Amino acid sequence: MNSKRVFLSQSEKPKAWYNLLADLPEPLPPPLHPGTKQPVGPDDLAPIFAQELIAQEMSPERWIEIPQEVQDVYDIWRPSPLVRATELEKALKTPARIYFKDESHSPPGSHKPNTAVPQAYYNKKEGINRLTTETGAGQWGSALSFACSQFDMECKVYMVKCSYEQKPYRRSMMHVWGGNVSPSPSNETKAGRQILAADPDSPGSLGIAISEAVEAAVAREDTKYTLGSVLNHVMLHQSVIGLETEKQFEIFEDTPDIVIGCAGGGSNFAGLAFPYIRRRLEGKDIRFVAVEPRSCPTMSRGSYNYDFGDTTMLTPLLKMLTLGHTFIPPGIHAGGLRYHGMAPMVSLCAKLGIIEAAAYHQLECFAAAQLFAKTEGIIPAPETAHAIRATIVEAEKCREEGEEKCIVMSFSGHGLCDLGAYDRYFAGELDDHSYSEEKLAAAMADLPQVD
């Protein structure tokens, strides 16, 4: 079909999420208790998460029905469009066909509400009225604030301090939806006070903010914790992205050869990729590229190990690609990609060679984002810019090799609250960061010993 963008009708919308756990060629190593180092059971997770989400975390079912109440909220912005990036193709003079799945249409402006809404819904259904969480870039915190407002719940967000200072309008969005946001590390929790005592100027990290949010959740009966990435149930909810994309490609009468997404904790990438990984496991020839910043190279330079999800070692141990839970990346503008670990399912796929990792510096990503904005019109989030950079690299390869490949990327979010970062880029105030082997080895030395 020769159209620029494709939507779906109500009847074509996915009614169930896809669970890659059912099809993985190897079993996923179980999460371990941080104290005993034995596999955790549902009871260990019950103080932190809603029962239904714990069940989904461990579910062997391939398809899990999307509750009608969740579909009703999804209707505000879903199905999101699949768009052919014709103008970018022309600018690159590439024979490749480039498509992007535009998740920037959601109220908070990213893919994050795809899981924030079901997480709020299941908690509310179980009588919980208050949720805590961490946020890096502010996208997840604003998504959860939006979701809580839909189900009349309170929302408490610990926002990584450097993002809190860089992104005042993300804070404002959370306030509009009724969220309560504190810069992390904060004085409100033991974990925050411990970090501040050691380094009063700590820029914060997602690992620290997770420690604060988990502590704040277990402190109150009426409160549970929610995580915006990494866990299996988050990957499950995000599969709605790839499931819609498959149907939209049928309308375009095309099919992707290369699937690309940026990865912080992995859910944006997984959301688009996992339904296609199912096809690859059935024998289809598809490449997958997960993109990360060179300044936080979890997949390209991390090791596959059990590690804590947070800095102060409160969470269960997950088997994942990790830079070590004490690794604190520099305050790059792609705050949503500053995480030391990677979703266990994405990590296992990387270990099995199903997906590839690519890492880029922030300056080349901002240049790619500007080209995208000048051709396709939409101003990308700095995280999304990493996927655009990788897409351009692949499209240029097609040009050099004369190959007409079909490339699809997840356009995970818009950058309208990141204009300060663009200003700094244009003013020449942003740097590229890389790590020496010594620095990476130092954080890796703190990995927990598991027999």
Residue number, 94 or 211, with CB nearest to ligand PLP: 211
State phi, psi for 204 to the nearest 5 degrees: 80, 170
User: Residue 16: CB partners within 8 Å, gap ≥ 6?
Assistant: 63, 64, 65, 66
DSSP result, 274-289: HHHHHHHHTT---EEE
**How many CB atoms lie under 10 A from the CB of residue 135?**
32
Least distance in Å: CB of 294 to ligand PLP?
Answer: 16
Among 81, 179, 265, 329, binds ligand PLP (CB under 6 A): 265
- Long-range contact set of residues 199-204: C-beta below 8 Å, sequence gap at least 24: 202/161, 202/328, 203/160, 203/161, 203/162, 203/328, 203/331, 204/160, 204/161, 204/162, 204/163, 204/164
Residue type, 212: E
Chain residues 358-397 in contact with ligand PLP, contact rule CB under 6 A = 381, 383-384
User: 130-135 and 223-225: which strand pairing?
Assistant: parallel
Which listed range, 78-86, 247-255, 259-267, 443-451, lies at the site for ligand PLP (CB under 6 A)? 259-267
Which listed range, 51-59, 247-255, 266-274, 352-360, lies at the site for ligand PLP (CB under 6 A)? 266-274
Chain residues 96-135 in contact with ligand PLP, contact rule CB under 6 A = 110
Among 214, 413, 422, 444, binds ligand PLP (CB under 6 A): 413
Which listed range, 41-49, 197-205, 258-266, 362-370, lies at the site for ligand PLP (CB under 6 A)? 258-266
Of 417, 365, 422, the closest CA to residue 139 belongs to 417
Among 123, 184, 245, 267, binds ligand PLP (CB under 6 A): 267
Any contact of residue 229 with ligand PLP (CB under 6 A)? yes
Residue number, 110 or 132, with CB nearest to ligand PLP: 110
Residue number, 123 or 229, with CB nearest to ligand PLP: 229
Tell me the per-residue interface mask from 301 to 340 with ligand PLP, x by CB under 6 A, - otherwise: -----------------------------------xx---
Of 172, 177, 127, 188, the closest CA to residue 155 belongs to 177
User: 317-322 and 303-308: which strand pairing?
Assistant: antiparallel
Dist. CA 26–CA 349, nearest whole Å: 9
Least distance in Å: CB of 150 to ligand PLP?
Answer: 20
Residues binding ligand PLP (CB under 6 A): 110, 136-137, 139-140, 229, 262-269, 336-337, 381, 383-384, 412-413
